[in-house]
């Protein structure tokens, strides 16, 4: 009797909470994760981060041990496969070192200065996961900001920072991201789209090119394109799974990303673009710097190109 009386107010409460929940979802969709919603996320992460970090110290060995137990059956095969990959990678490394040595020599001969700037990198531990998102132990205090690209320790693309608090951040992997990623296969630019939002769930992604000129082959590497606004150019993303030829000018194929987000323990957050203001200026009006040497005096002039029209 007592229970039935008490349940009387349960239905109005239930309906009210449902309405509030649906309203929150609508706000989140309309604000696209920004505004108040972004502040709420950052605030909750800031509160939970110390506890998660503490818990991570305790649970990481347990999680690793249980993961190892579950993978013990396939461990021998994985070891053989990794040994083969290692041998191949060592051979490639030697070849690259040889090319680098030649490059150094040529730069010295022609007195060239490289203008490469090392991107700021923040190495972070993955301390947890909620749904598809990964939680890391570095935040705005360490220079991690929303929107920055994230790679794994091998340099493969993982995803982007979705939100960041002072001591933690959440990473949205490319396989769970709704937005497409502009990539390059050979010389062809296209868009890589996650299948997480289609009926065919899985780690694979779909590559679509609309101005395709040549076929792509299984095993071709997929790299981030210079046209991408989210990632620096040239980062390895994955490899093509199946051969595909252009139909008219469009081409579609399947790509398997190199990174399985569930297996990640460490990630690297890139401070990219290095200077957003400079990058923005570069995008709009690229500067030309001219250095003139006249006897002992050296003068540098920076000019902006004339606007069209």
Q: How far is the CB of 28 from other proteins (least distance, A)?
A: 4
Q: Smallest distance from the beta carbon of 196 to other proteins, in angstroms?
A: 3
- In the complex with other proteins, the residue whose CB is nearer, 12 or 286, is 12
Residues making contact with other proteins (CB under 8 A) = 3, 6-7, 9-10, 13-14, 17-18, 20-25, 27-29, 37, 40-41, 44-45, 48, 51-52, 55-56, 59-60, 62-63, 66-67, 70, 126-133, 135, 162, 170, 172, 175-176, 178, 194, 196-199, 201-203, 262
As beta bridge partners, residue 209 has 251
Q: How far is the CB of 258 from other proteins (least distance, A)?
A: 16
CA–CA distance, 250 with 155 (Å, rounded to integer): 30
Token pair for 261: 């987000």
Nearer to other proteins, 171 or 185 (CB): 171
- The stretches of the chain forming alpha helices (DSSP H) are 2-6, 10-31, 35-71, 75-109, 276-284
> 143: phi > 0 → left, psi -120 to 50 → alpha, else beta; which?
left
* Shortest reach from residue 216's CB to other proteins, in Å: 24
* Token output for 237: 């993303």
CB closer to other proteins out of 102 and 178: 178
- Give phi and psi for 133, each to the nearest 5: -80, 145
CB of 120 to other proteins, least distance (A): 24
Q: Which is nearer to other proteins, 191 or 225 (CB)?
A: 191
Calpha distance 105→21 (Å, rounded) = 64
Shortest Å, Cβ 271 to other proteins: 22
Q: Which stretches of 110-173 are DSSP H helices?
A: none
Minimum distance of other proteins from residue 198's CB (angstroms): 7
Tracing tokens 């399947």 back to the chain, one arrives at 254
- φ/ψ of 78, rounded to 5, equals -65, -40
Number of neighbouring beta carbons within 10 Å of residue 55: 13
**Which is nearer to other proteins, 10 or 277 (by Cβ)?**
10
Residues paired with 127 in a beta bridge? none
Q: Which is nearer to other proteins, 173 or 273 (CB)?
A: 173
Q: Which is nearer to other proteins, 128 or 139 (CB)?
A: 128
Q: Evaluate whether 264 touches 253 at the Cβ level (below 8 Å).
A: no
**Alpha helix positions (H), 112-262:** none
């Amino acid at each position: 009797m007592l229970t039935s009386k008490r349940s009387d107010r349960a239905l109005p409460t239930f309906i009210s909470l449902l309405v509030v929940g649906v309203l929150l979802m609508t706000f989140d969709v309309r604000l696209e994760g920004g505004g108040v919603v972004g502040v709420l996320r950052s605030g909750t992460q800031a509160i939970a981060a110390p506890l998660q970090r503490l818990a991570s110290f305790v649970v990481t060995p347990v999680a690793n041990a249980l993961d190892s137990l579950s993978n013990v059956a396939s461990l021998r095969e994985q070891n053989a496969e990794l040994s083969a990959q290692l041998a191949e990678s060592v051979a490639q490394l030697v070849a690259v070192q040889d090319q680098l040595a030649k490059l150094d020599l040529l730069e010295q001969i022609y007195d060239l200065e490289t203008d490469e700037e090392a991107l700021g990198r923040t190495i972070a531990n993955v301390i947890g996961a909620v749904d598809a998102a990964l939680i890391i132990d570095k935040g705005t205090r360490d220079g991690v900001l929303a929107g920055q690209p994230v790679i794994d320790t091998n340099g493969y693309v993982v995803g982007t920072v979705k939100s960041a608090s002072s001591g933690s951040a959440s990473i949205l992997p490319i396989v769970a991201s709704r937005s497409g990623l502009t990539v390059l296969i050979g010389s062809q630019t296209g868009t890589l789209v996650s299948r997480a939002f289609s009926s065919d769930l899985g780690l694979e992604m779909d590559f679509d090119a609309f101005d395709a000129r040549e076929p792509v082959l299984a095993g071709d590497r997929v790299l981030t394109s210079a046209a991408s606004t989210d990632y620096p150019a040239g980062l390895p993303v994955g490899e093509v799974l199946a051969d595909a030829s252009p139909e008219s000018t469009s081409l579609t194929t399947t790509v398997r990303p190199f990174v399985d987000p569930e297996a990640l323990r460490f990630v690297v957050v890139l401070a990219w673009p290095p200077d957003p203001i400079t990058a923005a200026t570069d995008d709009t009006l690229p500067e030309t710097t001219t250095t003139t040497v006249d006897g002992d005096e050296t003068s540098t002039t920076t000019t902006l190109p004339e606007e069209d029209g």
